[in-house]
């Protein structure tokens, strides 16, 4: 129903514009006679009426009125009938002036005395006709330009109305989408939170059963019990990660200038327990100051670096490089590169999905939410995240962030 209304409005507006164009064209055509017979007939009638008026005024002793009256006939003919009838009007007016008003009267011959007067009349008729024709062309052009502008204004107003309606519809849809996202996040948070209590019961009673009845169970039953405990703990990790993913969407972003190099060294130091005893070659390049939420960006770096540590477990030595690539003028692009297990690029679009995994859980642990969380954080900062890799040849993750303002970079107290 909502879609049919704009279509109806569009058809109505198009009809109104067409009617205005037709009326404008009729208005222009009504001021000029189109039929050749009527045009030249109008010329003859106009000159005849002019001669009649001039003779009438002469009969009542009005002097020197024939020139303006015949000039008016020529001007009217030029205005309404065009150039051809105007030429005929000049010829007829000149002949009539010569016959009725130039000496000798009632003769088409002109005396030498009245020849200048006759030539002045002829020149005056030509001048009046030319000025009328020029003015007619100018007014026609102005009228066409006015009509065109009027139609353009109507079309522009109609387009602006359509754009305004579309903007209002987009605002409404954006508000609905935002409300739906909040409802989904609240639902996911509530469900995840409510699942933790029964899961704790499962884990707790399974552990009690394992301790108290272990001696009464055979190897197969103990293996079943261990599988229940491991699956329950893995489900607990999934719920915790899902809660963290939901919190990212609900948390308020507090943006400041962040020293990425300092932050990445802190993350590497905190992962020292996971990397103890391993042969890892770290290469950390110079990283700029960016603008964002420090705690959220730390989550991104923890996820990417811990992934690099995890997927290089089978490499000796493992190589992990963190640096800055060439980004846009107002953005920085950071990369985390490793020589680990890598992935097939045809499945790259699955990397950032919730619970999406490209490796079996028996090979590499994890819940499949870390990269989805990282993507959500980067998107909230107005950046993008992408991945490149090949099977058994490592992977590289890139993410972009807005650069810090100059004032923020110079203020040491704002850099965290």
CATH of 255-415 given 3.30.565.10, 3.30.470.30, 3.40.190.10, 1.10.10.10: 3.30.565.10
Q: Considering the chain, what percentage of its residues have pLDDT values greater than 70?
A: 78
CA 213 – CA 205 distance, rounded (Å): 11
Residue 276 carries which DSSP code? T
Q: Which residue has the tokens 């996911």?
A: 188
Q: Which helix (H) or strand (E) covers residue 371, if one does?
A: helix 370-380
Query: Residue 409 region, left (φ>0) first, then alpha (ψ -120 to 50), else beta?
Result: alpha
What confidence score (pLDDT) does residue 114 get?
A: 67
pLDDT digits (tens, 9 = 90+) for 333-343: 889 998 888 88
Closest CA to 287 of 328, 330, 320, 325: 325
What confidence score (pLDDT) does residue 239 get?
A: 73
CA 131 – CA 78 distance, rounded (Å): 9
What confidence score (pLDDT) does residue 404 get?
A: 66
- DSSP sequence for 331-355: EEEEEEEE-SS---GGGGGGTTSTT
Over the range 333-342, which residues count as b (16 or more CB within 10 Å of their CB) and which as e? bbbbbbbbbb
Is the pLDDT assigned to residue 363 strictly greater than 60? no
CA 285 – CA 279 distance, rounded (Å): 19
CA 287 – CA 273 distance, rounded (Å): 24
Is the pLDDT assigned to residue 271 strictly greater than 50? yes
Output the six-digit token pair for 238: 């999934």
* CB neighbourhood size of 383 (10 A): 22
Whether omega before 317 lies within 30 degrees of 0, making that bond cis, reads yes
pTM of the predicted model as reported, rounded to 2 decimal places: 0.49
pLDDT digits (tens, 9 = 90+) for 378-401: 888 888 888 888 888 888 888 888
What confidence score (pLDDT) does residue 167 get?
A: 92
**Among 14-18, 141-145, 233-237, 295-299, which stretch is predicted with the lowest mean pLDDT?**
14-18
Domain spans in the chain, listed from the N-terminal domain onward = 255-415
pLDDT digits (tens, 9 = 90+) for 9-56: 544 555 555 545 554 554 444 445 667 888 888 888 988 898 888 888
């Amino acid at each position: 129903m909502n879609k049919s209304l704009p279509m109806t409005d569009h058809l109505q507006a198009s009809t109104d514009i067409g009617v205005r164009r037709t009326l404008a064209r009729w208005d222009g055509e009504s001021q000029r006679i189109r039929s050749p017979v009527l045009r030249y007939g109008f010329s003859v009638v106009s000159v005849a009426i002019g001669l009649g008026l001039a003779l009438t005024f002469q009969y009542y002793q009005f002097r020197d009125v024939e020139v303006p009256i015949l000039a008016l006939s020529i001007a009217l003919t030029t205005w309404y009938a065009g150039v051809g009838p105007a030429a005929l009007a000049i010829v007829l007016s000149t002949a009539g002036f010569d016959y009725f008003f130039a000496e000798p009267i009632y003769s088409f011959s002109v005396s030498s005395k009245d020849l200048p007067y006759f030539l002045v009349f002829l020149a005056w008729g030509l001048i009046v006709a030319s000025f009328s024709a020029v003015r007619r062309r100018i007014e026609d052009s102005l009228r066409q330009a006015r009509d065109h502008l009027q139609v353009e204004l109507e079309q522009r107003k109609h387009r602006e109305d359509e754009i305004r309606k579309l903007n209002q519809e987009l605002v409404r849809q954006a508000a609905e989408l935002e409300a739906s996202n909040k409802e989904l996040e609240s639902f996911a948070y509530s469900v995840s939170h409510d699942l933790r209590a029964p899961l704790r019961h499962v884990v707790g009673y399974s552990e009690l059963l394992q301790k108290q009845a272990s001696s009464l169970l055979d190897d197969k039953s103990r293996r079943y019990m261990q599988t229940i405990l491991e699956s329950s703990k893995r489900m607990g990790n999934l719920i915790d990660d899902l809660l963290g993913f939901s919190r990212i969407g609900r948390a308020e972003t507090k943006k400041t200038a962040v020293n990425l190099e300092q932050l990445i060294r802190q993350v590497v130091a905190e992962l020292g327990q996971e990397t103890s005893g391993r042969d890892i070659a770290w290469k950390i390049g110079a990283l700029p100051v960016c603008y964002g939420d420090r705690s959220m960006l730390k989550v991104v770096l923890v996820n990417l670096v811990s992934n690099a540590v995890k997927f290089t477990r089978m490499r000796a030595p493992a190589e992990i490089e963190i640096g800055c690539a060439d980004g846009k003028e107002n953005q920085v692009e950071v990369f985390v590169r490793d020589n680990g297990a890598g992935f097939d690029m045809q499945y790259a679009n699955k990397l950032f999905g919730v619970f999406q995994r490209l490796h079996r859980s028996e090979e590499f642990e994890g819940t499949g939410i870390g990269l989805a969380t990282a993507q959500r954080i980067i998107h909230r900062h107005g950046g993008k995240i992408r991945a490149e890799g090949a099977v058994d040849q490592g992977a590289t993750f890139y993410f972009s962030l807005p650069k810090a303002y100059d004032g923020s970079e110079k203020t040491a107290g704002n850099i965290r």
